[in-house]
Amino acid sequence: MAEPTETTAGDIVQPTGPPARTTPGPGFRVVGAILVLLMLSSSVPSALYVLYQQRWGLSSGTVTVVFALYAVTVLGGLLLFGSLSDTLGRRPVLGAALVLAIVSMALFAGAQGPGLLLAARAVQGLAVGLATGAMGAALLELTPPARPALGAQVNSAGPTVGIGLGGLGAGLLVQYAPAPTVLSYLLLIGAFAVTLAGVVRMRESAPGAGGPFRVVPHRIRVPAAARGRFAVLVLTIVAVWSVGGFYLSLGPHLALSLLHSTNHLVGGATVALLAGAATGAQLLLGRTEALRTAVLGLCGLLAGLALVLSALGLGSAPLFLVATAVLGCGWGAAFLGSFRALSALADPAHRGELTAAVYVFAYLAMSVPAVLAGMLTDIHGLHRTSVGFMVAVAGVCAPALIVTLRLSARVRAEGSTP
């Protein structure tokens, strides 16, 4: 440590240490890139589903089953291996997840029918589930000291940024590049290989790294004292991810139908519009109180659903695009607010157990309604099924808004935070 120095005037000048680092280090950037890339790769198939349907004669029900398999395997990987990086280390877990991601991209590139498509989606979901816990922890651990909120912001905005870029990028490749069902995945293999090299070079950030390989499944538990508030807030999670699952599986097909277009960029751009609006809302409301953010998000969801129904009734493509943007804003805000409020319901020692419960509801809401919508589409058609789906989600949002408003008023009266 430097000694105090004396000036000619006799004043003692205490030394000051180096200023706190504000620029993210290479490890932080690598992990952030992995987060965006994994989410990007998860949305690429959404822009390609219409093409798969045309080439292989797949039904809408089959498409949604392929999508749902991804959600189920993400959940399984997260619950089984979510805490593995705490003992083994962030680097080896992230490295294994990237190897699985590369394998899944190779399976996608070689798929000639639904069999390999299902296998690719399952391996991809496992890769994302394995990486999720390690990425979230590493981003917090590697956050620059002078910017303590940066890790949480990247954790929150990274997924929607990745989903939006994946939908848009895949749409561009499908429409304008050769062999899009192969090229998209070959490019991702290259990107994952680069990030894998970055993981090899990054420093380990887990305090307990180097322990034995030990699979300790996440416990799923909601503290008894928090169950009432959990039941209120989880309604919003269900509504949010039901919308997300529908748009990521059938949204591009619906957009092409309403626009009477064969340009596959339209389908990818629809996913990008939803995710981009969600990201914007999350960044805008990042400092807003959690329950207020959830209320604003639910209002946005209801407004967006009403606009989607109007667009379907009028057959208006421009209105559908506006509705998707409004719906995206509500989607992002509602998820951010409800997740933050839910995370505050448990003490730090049990927060992981409660978060696991939230993920169970989120991924089930993403997958089960989407599969039902796909099956109903095969029977009643996409238009009628979409109308029924939006009405059903609105039927969840309305009571969710009412009970969240009541909870917010009660919290303010008690002078506590959710």
Per-residue pLDDT tens digits for 46-58: 888 888 988 898 8
Coil, strand or helix at 345 = coil
| Mean predicted confidence (pLDDT) in 184-195 | 96
Percent of the chain with pLDDT over 90: 44
Q: Is the pLDDT of residue 13 over 50?
A: no
pLDDT reading at 156 higher than 50: yes
Q: What is the mean pLDDT of the chain?
A: 86
Is 194's pLDDT higher than 50? yes
Collapsing DSSP to helix, strand or coil, 216 comes out as: coil
Q: Please, what's the largest Cα pairwise distance for the chain?
A: 90
Distances (CA, A) of 175 to 250, 261, 317, 330: 18, 12, 20, 30
In whole angstroms, what is the distance from residue 12 CA to residue 10 CA? 6
Q: What are phi and psi of 389, to 5 degrees?
A: -65, -45
Tokens, residue 217:
């499944």
Q: Where does the pLDDT of residue 195 fall: very low under 50, low under 70, confident under 90, or very high at 90 and above?
A: very high
- Does the pLDDT value for residue 88 go beyond 90? no
Check residue 248 and give its pLDDT.
Answer: 87
Choose the most confident range, by mean pLDDT, from 143-147, 148-152, 178-182: 178-182
Q: Residue 153: what pLDDT?
A: 74
Between 55-64, 77-86, 166-175, the lowest mean confidence (pLDDT) is in: 77-86
The model's pTM:
0.82
What is the tens place of the pLDDT at every residue in 204-258?
887 767 767 777 777 777 878 788 888 889 999 999 999 988 998 888 888 888 8
Entry field: residues in the chain: 418
- Name the residue with higher pLDDT: 413 or 236: 236
**Residue 412 confidence class, pLDDT cut points 50, 70, 90:** confident
Distance separating alpha carbons of residues 318 and 259, to the nearest angstrom: 8
**Quick one: DSSP state of residue 57?**
-
First-to-last CA distance in the chain? 44
Buried b vs exposed e over 256-265: b needs ≥16 C-beta within 10 Å? bbbbeeeebb
Q: Count of CB atoms within 10 A of residue 297's CB? A: 31
Instruction: List domains and CATH numbers for the chain.
Output: 24-208 (1.20.1250.20), 219-418 (1.20.1250.20)
Cβ 267 vs Cβ 80: under 8 Å: no
pLDDT band at 192 (very low <50, low <70, confident <90, very high): very high
Token representation of residue 253 = 């097909």
Q: What is the mean pLDDT of residues 395-402?
A: 94
Predicted confidence at residue 5, as pLDDT, reads 45
| Confidence (pLDDT) at 417 | 54
DSSP secondary structure, 4-15, as one string: PEE-TT--EE--
Does the structure show a pLDDT above 80 at 312? yes
Confidence at 95, pLDDT banded by 50, 70, 90: very high
Residue 395: predicted pLDDT? 94
Q: Specify the pLDDT at position 193.
A: 97
